Amino acid sequence: MDQAARPFAFIHYDPVIQRKQRDFREPTQQKSRLAEDLTEIQSIMRQNIDQILNRGEKLDNVSNISNELRSKSKDFKWGAQKVTWQVQMQQYGAMVVGFTLVLFVVYIRLFGFPFSG
Protein backbone atom coordinates (compact mmCIF):
# COMPACT_ATOMS: atom_id res chain seq x y z
CA MET A 1 0.00 0.00 0.00
CA ASP A 2 2.96 2.33 0.52
CA GLN A 3 3.80 2.04 -3.16
CA ALA A 4 0.30 2.96 -4.39
CA ALA A 5 0.15 5.61 -7.07
CA ARG A 6 -1.08 9.00 -6.06
CA PRO A 7 -3.97 10.52 -8.02
CA PHE A 8 -2.85 13.26 -10.36
CA ALA A 9 -5.47 15.75 -9.07
CA PHE A 10 -3.94 15.73 -5.59
CA ILE A 11 -0.28 15.86 -6.59
CA HIS A 12 0.05 19.54 -5.59
CA TYR A 13 -0.95 18.58 -2.01
CA ASP A 14 1.85 15.99 -1.82
CA PRO A 15 4.49 18.33 -0.25
CA VAL A 16 2.02 19.42 2.41
CA ILE A 17 1.08 15.85 3.21
CA GLN A 18 4.72 14.78 3.39
CA ARG A 19 5.54 17.67 5.75
CA LYS A 20 2.61 16.80 8.03
CA GLN A 21 3.66 13.17 8.11
CA ARG A 22 7.17 14.20 9.19
CA ASP A 23 5.74 16.51 11.83
CA PHE A 24 3.66 13.76 13.39
CA ARG A 25 6.21 10.90 13.15
CA GLU A 26 8.23 11.96 16.18
CA PRO A 27 6.03 12.25 19.30
CA THR A 28 8.69 14.07 21.36
CA GLN A 29 9.03 16.76 18.72
CA GLN A 30 5.25 17.02 18.58
CA LYS A 31 5.07 17.40 22.37
CA SER A 32 7.79 20.06 22.43
CA ARG A 33 6.08 21.96 19.64
CA LEU A 34 2.78 21.69 21.50
CA ALA A 35 4.46 22.97 24.68
CA GLU A 36 5.97 25.90 22.75
CA ASP A 37 2.58 26.72 21.25
CA LEU A 38 0.93 26.59 24.67
CA THR A 39 3.64 28.81 26.15
CA GLU A 40 3.16 31.31 23.34
CA ILE A 41 -0.63 31.29 23.81
CA GLN A 42 -0.19 31.73 27.56
CA SER A 43 2.10 34.71 26.96
CA ILE A 44 -0.37 36.30 24.57
CA MET A 45 -3.23 35.79 27.01
CA ARG A 46 -1.21 37.39 29.82
CA GLN A 47 -0.51 40.38 27.59
CA ASN A 48 -4.22 40.63 26.80
CA ILE A 49 -5.15 40.50 30.47
CA ASP A 50 -2.54 43.17 31.29
CA GLN A 51 -3.93 45.38 28.55
CA ILE A 52 -7.47 44.90 29.84
CA LEU A 53 -6.37 45.78 33.38
CA ASN A 54 -4.61 48.89 32.08
CA ARG A 55 -7.79 49.86 30.27
CA GLY A 56 -9.70 49.39 33.51
CA GLU A 57 -7.29 51.73 35.31
CA LYS A 58 -7.60 54.25 32.50
CA LEU A 59 -11.39 54.01 32.68
CA ASP A 60 -11.21 54.63 36.44
CA ASN A 61 -9.08 57.71 35.79
CA VAL A 62 -11.52 58.96 33.17
CA SER A 63 -14.40 58.34 35.58
CA ASN A 64 -12.66 60.31 38.33
CA ILE A 65 -11.91 63.17 35.95
CA SER A 66 -15.51 63.25 34.74
CA ASN A 67 -16.77 63.33 38.34
CA GLU A 68 -14.43 66.24 39.10
CA LEU A 69 -15.62 68.06 35.99
CA ARG A 70 -19.24 67.49 36.96
CA SER A 71 -18.58 68.92 40.43
CA LYS A 72 -16.71 71.92 39.03
CA SER A 73 -19.45 72.57 36.48
CA LYS A 74 -22.04 72.64 39.29
CA ASP A 75 -19.85 75.12 41.18
CA PHE A 76 -19.47 77.20 38.03
CA LYS A 77 -23.22 77.15 37.41
CA TRP A 78 -23.91 78.32 40.97
CA GLY A 79 -21.28 81.06 40.62
CA ALA A 80 -22.75 82.16 37.28
CA GLN A 81 -26.23 82.37 38.80
CA LYS A 82 -24.87 84.40 41.71
CA VAL A 83 -23.08 86.82 39.37
CA THR A 84 -26.22 87.12 37.21
CA TRP A 85 -28.29 87.96 40.31
CA GLN A 86 -25.74 90.58 41.40
CA VAL A 87 -25.68 92.19 37.96
CA GLN A 88 -29.47 92.31 37.85
CA MET A 89 -29.55 93.91 41.30
CA GLN A 90 -27.02 96.54 40.19
CA GLN A 91 -28.93 97.19 36.99
CA TYR A 92 -32.51 97.17 38.25
CA GLY A 93 -32.17 97.54 42.03
CA ALA A 94 -32.17 101.35 42.05
CA MET A 95 -35.22 101.46 39.78
CA VAL A 96 -37.15 98.98 41.95
CA VAL A 97 -36.31 100.91 45.14
CA GLY A 98 -37.25 104.22 43.46
CA PHE A 99 -40.53 102.84 42.10
CA THR A 100 -41.42 101.37 45.50
CA LEU A 101 -40.67 104.71 47.18
CA VAL A 102 -42.85 106.57 44.63
CA LEU A 103 -45.71 104.11 45.19
CA PHE A 104 -45.38 104.56 48.95
CA VAL A 105 -45.50 108.34 48.63
CA VAL A 106 -48.54 108.17 46.33
CA TYR A 107 -50.28 105.83 48.76
CA ILE A 108 -49.61 108.18 51.65
CA ARG A 109 -50.94 111.18 49.65
CA LEU A 110 -54.08 109.37 48.61
CA PHE A 111 -55.00 107.48 51.74
CA GLY A 112 -53.07 109.25 54.46
CA PHE A 113 -50.48 107.91 56.80
CA PRO A 114 -51.66 104.40 57.85
CA PHE A 115 -49.69 104.25 61.07
CA SER A 116 -51.29 107.27 62.71
CA GLY A 117 -53.96 106.45 65.16
At residue 67's C-alpha, the angle toward residues 63 and 73, to 5°, is 140
pTM of the predicted protein model: 0.41
CB 9 within 8 A of CB 15: no
C-alpha torsion 63→78→75→79, nearest 10: 140
Q: Where are the domains of the chain?
A: 13-111
pLDDT tens digits in sequence order for the chain, 117 residues long:
455 565 666 677 788 888 877 777 766 766 788 888 889 999 999 998 888 888 878 888 888 899 999 999 999 999 999 999 999 999 999 999 999 999 999 988 888 776 655
Rounded to whole angstroms, how far apart are CA atoms 51 and 42? 14
For residue 30, which of 21, 43, 17 has the smallest C-alpha distance? 21
